[in-house]
Structure 1
């Protein structure tokens, strides 16, 4: 008898998954750590376990599943049995695995420690007969041509099974599949022979093959994974983290979070520091700041819109993503022109093994992705999505024909990646997105006659991106270029606003690692927006200003061309004076140039982050920095705002700790404080511009403060379970003038709690739940109203701004998936149930025409979404 050893480990991930905030160090994105698993560990030396005598006497078999920690040198540092087999198999397997030697895994092309899952299989065989002696005294090997060969592939995905053992049990012969899943035998006797294929985490595959004289039998075996998933993850130890707080989500972890309909980007709203947006929309409210103060990036460059219709679904197909990085504050000098948080969406390269396709259908939209290689060095990916909400609503009868709704959206992505050699990578990417929402109002609103005739909103953008990455030795160069356009067309009756802009970006970066202790990085950012603006509309309300009837406001008419230009430069040093201490000082300079501006504005932003590993499991962290955000949207325009506005400033401080006793578990906590000044507020003064007196409209005169505590308890995806608990306690306040009372920001939420869990069951079932609780948003009470004789409407007068709160929010979302796995493709059927116990959230207050009566207006009731997703 002898042991049948599964010689290849099954990774808990073969994609890039950040196990904790700020995973990975700077790599190809020069300033944006990717944390990519560029090389999995490979088994160099195996030791065969002794078959336990008692088990052999009873002809027992077993499989021992274990976690193996592999160091950056390839040595086995720890073995932990997770699925014991008993009968002495566990002890024998552990003793053998401790003597294994691996070729180290690499994260971003650098050796790094990882944790893998390994299944050691014991298969009983009868004692072998004495081998036939060869003429030279050695052992006689089978002779003759190859007459039995084939491939072993994963059922449902067709991934090659590397290291699977193919056994001819009656002949006591076996072989191991290569990197393409191929195997072959020579001189197999004619006849029918039992065949088994075994590999850790896969069901044992059994069949029979008939060997005929003079012919080669070829077979393809589709082997079923015990817990099927399109995605795999790797639980890895971290080499270095340079941000104070960074959380990375991967497609593998979040494709099935309940309430998100499989949209990876929507899961960001469930992380610490992110408030719940109104109507569960797409606004990103990070640490109490307004959505305009945070930045959304795709591969390091800004994208103007992240979600369709403010939150239905994101504008970038989740199947083309690698991961999403979330930085709530104290981020490095790589990012600028924002005082809130950062969302960086990382797209992945197209697959190069073969042609792949994914098609998804639900009750609101359909989408598809096709990708694969064109040549040995060139690969492509194409994705698209189209909603059919407008088609569904047309089939629904309305009692009142005065309101007709026709919303629709679409987006598309195309990507080409060319790698002529190991040093150069060229990427060409095109994006497009378009939304339209039309409402027909036959009757004007009761308390505002100016709102009539209908509403028509169109938003969208197009982008063409070119990127070149160069890596050689210690030097990395990364250059991005972008040209695009953005459209906002908003029409309400005879009033409207249309902004059509041309967007230009250039971002070269460089990184050089002098040694293991010192790395320097820096770069330039050049952004230009050339806009054509046509407007005939009232002044929109600002943050903290309760709405009033628009009919009382004068129309502002604008028809002109405007330019906004933002050149910046940044540099930072990553210095490790001690093995367990990392210090990252950096600085960023920013300038702002606007049409009709009298003086160019400049800012300097020094920043520093410190991480200290107190023990192997416990890390202390802290950071401080200066952040500026330029005037945005209408703020620097002469008609609506003031082209001489300066940038808003935020002084950010944070301290915290991270505890990671096991690679799959992470606990992080942080206390933060943001001191804000030069906030933009309303002004009634007049100023001199081009020799004449004009309204100032806006000025830098407000101050603010944001402080709080964040907690994240997270379990990374393994075979069956993942999830997290996120809690934020915070307060965001501002003062609009010296001596004025402090008031709450519009987006202040004292408590935000999110709990998410997903578990994979046998037979392809998966269940998940998400529970959310959040304090209600601030609201300003109406104390009364008086009738305006000139317009015949009632004008409200308000109490103290944001002095009351709406009722708190709580909601449970559920999701059930059923995976159907076929030989060459797989199908996921799902039910995503939003607001499972039908608790409609309070989103605001509505008043009658004279403000004498009020009622809450509420969000959506229970919403079931059925869908399916097929892939091959």
Structure 2
């Protein structure tokens, strides 16, 4: 994430107001001939959804703010920023399920994610040598609460990260040598009250148990990279090496990498890269119910090649092919899951399975996992940009496949829950007199999910789903067309922009999850946003 430098001539205040959110931005001169920049934004999308009675289960509300100062010579910069995001359940508690997971007798559910960071950057340049260092501290706070069957459940996790990053670049050995350090300390605290995930000691837990965890972990990393230009700067060779120590797993890693770039012609560039990468484990895999255990991080070997050409001043084409070999992936080592029977386990697919992959590092433990999984990913990405008269736009297409193997399920590979083979995006804008018209069209293959093959009824009368083939079916394809019309008025006191956004113009019902009836004989889809218009105004001083 980057932020821009504020303007130093005089104080200016601008803002934006729309049907979805409101924000304000102020910038002006600061000490040491520097600049201040302060901004804040708050959405009220949750209120709009409630008022419109849209068929959504969870409604979001987000807010963020930043304060930035930079010295006039650019050597010093300080920044503070943070966010406050909330998801709230608005689904009818009398309904049995929604969005592919059980909501029966759920009286309330809320998920709050907050973070704050304070950092200072120092930058110095002496001739061809540059140095940069940035210490920072912060807090991450995740709080999830629910009441189901009149029983309070929840998770509260707080992380206090203290970090330092530094790098230096200088001419050496006939090229440029760069090296850096990054790392820090984190205090993890974990407080959970829920029915714990199945373990080998208790494969079918039923009691709500309270447990907590507090742990310090120190991570340290160092890297070095050398760059050489040969053949009259037509070729660049950039080998590198990175070493890390991950505190949660007490694991040392050493990763070699290399990038080679060739300028084949004045307007054609070919770049190839091969490298090894490691990722630390998640604190959420160290649920105290699992006992004192060591969880290793995952690793990946990646290779990619990109060819890019710029044709004149108005055309650009690029193509990238890549391959990844993934090892030591965390996978569910005990239970299988369907979208209903296990409330969206990682191999269920559907809305909750996908959501888990996206927020796994924040939300907490869902299952007992071990770093024994394997995976592969490969694909090709094509991008074309073009300016033609009053029109400007670009087209991007990707063919991408991603597979996972869980040894506890066998040696067969199955699609990853985020596997979407085809993805197409078309963006274009044009001038219509004093107005500007823009549009975006998106198409993607539907995500895979594990279907329910059948069900049986227990003596209690409850129905239990039986898994079908793992991730063998897909949601219908996603298609959405968005349009935007805007116009600006330039005045001595600033610029006033008026815009109208319409999301999902064709009002397509894009499925995001599956829902079954009580005995699993009928499937229905939970859809995303319908057509959603918004109007807003922006003032730029």
TM-score between both structures, scaled by the size of structure 2: 0.85
- Aligned residue runs from structure 1 range 136-175, under 5 A: none
Does 1:797 find its partner at 2:466?
yes
Q: Say if 1:757 and 1:769, in contact at 8 Å, map to a contact too.
A: yes
The match for 2:519 among 832, 850, 868 is 850
Q: Say if 1:842 and 1:857, in contact at 8 Å, map to a contact too.
A: yes
The match for 1:369 among 25, 29, 32 is 25
Does 1:436 find its partner at 2:86?
yes
Aligned counterpart, 1:379: 35
Q: Say if 2:197 and 2:368, in contact at 8 Å, map to a contact too.
A: no
Structure 1: gaps (5+ residues) = 1-344, 542-550, 686-695
More displaced, 348-357 or 775-784?
348-357
The structure with more radius of gyration: 1
The match for 2:216 among 549, 559, 563 is 563
Aligned counterpart, 1:733: 403
Aligned counterpart, 1:268: none
- Aligned residue runs from structure 1 range 160-559, under 5 A: 345-375=1-31, 377-392=33-48, 396=51, 408-419=61-72, 422=73, 425-439=75-89, 443=93, 445-446=95-96, 448=102, 451-493=105-147, 494-514=152-172, 518-539=175-196, 555-559=208-212
- CA shift for structure 1 position 780: 0.9
Aligned counterpart, 1:754: 425
Give, in whole Å, the separation in 2 of the partners of 1:776 and 1:843: 9
The match for 1:838 among 507, 515, 535 is 507
Deviations 1:501-529 (A, max 9, x none): 211111011111349x5111111111322
TM-score between both structures, scaled by the size of structure 1: 0.54
Deviations 1:194-221 (A, max 9, x none): xxxxxxxxxxxxxxxxxxxxxxxxxxxx
More displaced, 723-732 or 448-457?
448-457
Aligned counterpart, 1:591: 245
Aligned counterpart, 2:414: 743
Residue aligned with 1:634, SS = helix
The match for 1:868 among 516, 537, 541 is 537
Deviations 1:569-610 (A, max 9, x none): 11101111222000110111111112xx6xx21111100011
Give, in whole Å, the separation in 1 of the partners of 2:239 and 2:370: 32
Give, in whole Å, the separation in 1 of the partners of 2:230 and 2:287: 48
- CA shift for structure 1 position 540: 6.6
Aligned counterpart, 1:623: 273
Give, in whole Å, the separation in 2 of the partners of 1:737 and 1:531: 30
Give, in whole Å, the separation in 1 of the partners of 2:242 and 2:20: 44
The structure with the greater share of residues assigned to strand is 2
The match for 1:787 among 457, 464, 477 is 457
- CA shift for structure 1 position 562: 2.3
Give, in whole Å, the separation in 2 of the partners of 1:742 and 1:460: 37
Deviations 1:515-562 (A, max 9, x none): 9x5111111111322122110124579xxxxxxxxx975545321212
- CA shift for structure 1 position 823: 2.3
Q: 1:651 to 1:441 in 2, by over 3 A?
A: closer
Give, in whole Å, the separation in 2 of the partners of 1:647 and 1:618: 39
Deviations 1:354-384 (A, max 9, x none): 3222210000211010001135612100101
Does 1:604 find its partner at 2:273?
no
Give, in whole Å, the separation in 2 of the partners of 1:834 and 1:609: 40
- CA shift for structure 1 position 788: 3.4
Q: Say if 1:754 and 1:772, in contact at 8 Å, map to a contact too.
A: yes
Q: Say if 2:144 and 2:156, in contact at 8 Å, map to a contact too.
A: yes
Deviations 1:416-439 (A, max 9, x none): 1113xx4x6111111121122333
Q: Say if 2:386 and 2:392, in contact at 8 Å, map to a contact too.
A: yes
Residue aligned with 1:639, SS = helix
Give, in whole Å, the separation in 2 of the partners of 1:349 and 1:832: 29
Q: 1:654 to 1:414 in 2, by over 3 A?
A: same
Give, in whole Å, the separation in 2 of the partners of 1:626 and 1:867: 46
Q: 1:553 to 1:829 in 2, by over 3 A?
A: farther
Aligned counterpart, 1:821: 490
- CA shift for structure 1 position 784: 1.1
Give, in whole Å, the separation in 1 of the partners of 2:60 and 2:320: 41
